[in-house]
Structure 1
Amino acid sequence: MTATDSSAWPEAPPPPSAPLVELRHVTAAFENQVVLQDVNLAIQAGESVAIIGESGCGKSVLLKLLVGLLAPVEGEVLWDGRPLHRLRREELIRLRLQVGFVFQQSALFDSLTVLENIALGLRVHRLCAPEEIVPRVRQRLHDVGLSEQVLSKRPAELSGGMRKRVAIARALALDPQVMLYDEPTTGLDPIMTDVINRLIAQTHQRRRLTTLIVTHEMRTVFSCTQRVLLLYPRSRLPPGQSQILYDGSPEGLRQAADGRVRQFIEGRADPRLLEEAEE
């Protein structure tokens, strides 16, 4: 699958009547700075969505909001129509077990082996019988293209691409319905970036997941997603304008009427576009 192979894009599912997850008029702050303001967003079950934008615009904050790792200052986050903040503790735990989260730096435990890292959630939440844990870990390693030879290794002994695949295997060990990826190809070379992109796309299709990817890599956008959202820093927008400058198909990005969208995807620094945005 390549960035220009549009025939390889996953086919978008027909939209159901209600979103799986929704943000309604959400304002959120990080380190005492408001980064998202009055954001509205709806994700349908089965969608594969990329969230792009420059550093500091609130992409990673948005992911944390979706799983309750960060609470909005205003507005609400809903799953299947139910406000996240109204869920009881046991309901929130059940929801999080349905969501696999792959962190930007993989977030593996250095003191644990690969086997122990992948099995951790299964053991803590007792999701399967003890004798089933190792076979499931082996299967998830196979799913991400790693051999059993890495089971006894620790993260420091692995390459960056291998650590990323272990992180994906750990998220998949819980058999989630939703996968969230925070900059999944950061620090990887172009070859390994394509490997991870193929893995994300194949995992989405084979498991019929809902997938959200925060990324700055346009290769990831074009090879893994059906829909893309471009977030813009609230500090550079006039009052009342949405931070989501673009919400549509990947192939429509280059034809977007808003010059700020083209500026971002083409990687250009053009002050005139910023001046136009302020007029």
Structure 2
Amino acid sequence: MPVLLELRDLTIPGVASHLNLSLQQGQVILCKTAGEQETKQLLQVVIGEARPETGSVLLDELPLHELDREQLLRVRRTISTVTAQAGLISNLKVWENITLPLLYHHGAVSDTAAEQALLLLEKLGYRGNIWALPGHLSYTERIITAFVRAAVSSPRLMVYAECLDDLPSPQRDLLLQQAMALQNQTDAPTALFITTGDIQLPLLVPDITCDLRYNPPQITRQT
């Protein structure tokens, strides 16, 4: 399989030192960090929002931190993130938040994408109004909305940053089931899960686990 994302000699102060990882298309990777701030820093570097102290992040062999703004925006269309903050737009309703990336990048929401979004909401146990504003949603409902928005965008890289850590176990398992279902599809994205501490994710079987709480990082690969 081709390498989609490469972290080359990556140093982020307080997070990682001289980290080298090559992530193939469709692989599942779990990174454990020391805390919320470390997770945020790692996410920002991986998606090109911040520069590492040393090293580089390459997506399809393109060094993200050497791209101009227009190039970076074009590349980041292939990346979807689900964060602990959910990142929903407060004055847009649930359905509008879900479909906004499709409208922005493609100008329309296909019937297939709309059906996938509704099916995911059902499988994840969303029972609320799809025309509700984010301010009326529970924390779990906001994370569900963020996940569905990311999933229907058909990303090549899916980043889950601390979004599982504070979910109740039943909802966490439901979300992980659907996240893993995405990985069983044709042209599955590379999935990067970033969590803090020793959170237990029994339904997640990563190809690579990288524990950044150690220096040097402890990297294990599924055999």
Q: Which residue of 2 aligns with 1:227?
A: 208
Gaps of 5+ in 2: none
Query: Secondary structure in 2 aligned to 1:220?
Result: coil
C-alpha contact 1:200 1:224 (8 A) present in aligned 2: no
Q: Which residue of 2 aligns with 1:142?
A: 119
Correspondences of 1:6-85 after superposition (within 5 Å): 16=1, 19-29=3-13, 34-55=14-35, 58-85=38-65
Query: Secondary structure in 2 aligned to 1:223?
Result: coil
C-alpha contact 1:53 1:230 (8 A) present in aligned 2: yes
Query: Secondary structure in 2 aligned to 1:139?
Result: helix
C-alpha contact 1:138 1:148 (8 A) present in aligned 2: no
Which has more helix, going by share of residues? 1
In the alignment, the residues of structure 1 paired with residue 92 and residue 37 of structure 2 have an alpha-carbon distance, to the nearest angstrom, of 34
1:6-40: CA deviation from partner (whole Å, max 9, x where unpaired)? xxxxxxxxxx3x521111122224xxxx4332222
Indicate yes or no: 2:101 matched with 1:121. Answer: yes
1:174-215: CA deviation from partner (whole Å, max 9, x where unpaired)? 221111001122322111111111111112222522100012
Query: Normalising to structure 2: TM-score of the pair?
Result: 0.84
Give the count of matched residue pairs: 219
Q: Which residue of 1 aligns with 2:221?
A: 248
Aligned-pair identity in percent equals 26
Gaps of 5+ in 1: 1-15, 253-279
Which has more strand, going by share of residues? 2
In the alignment, the residues of structure 1 paired with residue 78 and residue 190 of structure 2 have an alpha-carbon distance, to the nearest angstrom, of 11
Q: Counterpart amino acid of 1:23?
A: L
Instruction: Note the C-alpha offset of 1:147.
Output: 6.5
1:111-139: CA deviation from partner (whole Å, max 9, x where unpaired)? 221122112223333x133xx36873453
C-alpha contact 1:144 1:199 (8 A) present in aligned 2: no
Instruction: Note the C-alpha offset of 1:52.
Output: 1.3
Greater RCO between the two (CA within 8 Å, min separation 6)?
A: 2
In the alignment, the residues of structure 2 paired with residue 66 and residue 79 of structure 1 have an alpha-carbon distance, to the nearest angstrom, of 9
In the alignment, the residues of structure 1 paired with residue 204 and residue 112 of structure 2 have an alpha-carbon distance, to the nearest angstrom, of 31
Correspondences of 1:114-193 after superposition (within 5 Å): 114-125=94-105, 127-129=106-108, 132=109, 136-145=113-122, 150-193=129-172
**Pair 55,221 (structure 1): closer, same or farther in 2 beyond 3 Å:** farther
1:58-97: CA deviation from partner (whole Å, max 9, x where unpaired)? 3442222121011112211112222222334333222111
Indicate yes or no: 2:85 matched with 1:105. Answer: yes
| Poorly superposed stretches of 4+, deviation over 4 Å | 146-149
**Pair 42,171 (structure 1): closer, same or farther in 2 beyond 3 Å:** same
